[in-house]
Amino acid sequence: MGEAKQPEFTQLLRTHAGILHKIIRLYVDDPEDRRDLHQEMMYEAWRAYPSFRGAAAFSTWLYRVALNTALTFRRKSLRRVATTEIGAAAQLSAESPEPLSPQAELLYQAIRQLPEADRALISLHLDGYDNESIADIAGLTKNHVAVKLHRIKTVLENRLKQQ
């Protein structure tokens, strides 16, 4: 990426940092893994930014990159054998997400129990994306998204009632 685009990218990433934090909260529990995933998401976004053409909003594009990175990270983590990593990774300063209310934490816990694809859909929905945008990001039809969201909401309501 050219140096001229670096400040633009950095500002866009700061503006939309909440997207990264929300996805991280949904896919990773361990604080060390959260830092690693955050760094990986920022790297992947940086690497992919030259291909961003503006056809979709930056937030939509970033959501897609971050979500794909989180899913890949989880798959790698599940296959990874527990080992001690020696050396310190370069630490990027990441603004800590604000603490969650007890109700929001319960919702995140319920969402974390969903299958990965359902987590992605409800996360996009909770972030205010309409069904058409969610369909574009997830590669589904608008109607399929609507049906899936209805089912996901029902599952979440039932889980939250049990707590």
CB 118 within 8 A of CB 147: no
Q: Domains in the chain, ordered, with CATH?
A: 1-96 (1.10.1740.10), 99-163 (1.10.10.10)
- pLDDT 10s per residue in the chain (163 long)? 556 578 889 999 999 999 999 999 888 888 899 999 999 999 999 999 998 988 888 999 999 999 989 988 877 765 543 333 323 333 333 445 667 788 888 888 899 899 988 998 998 898 888 999 888 888 889 999 999 999 999 999 999 888 7
Return the C-alpha torsion angle 31, 34, 40, 45, nearest 10.
-140
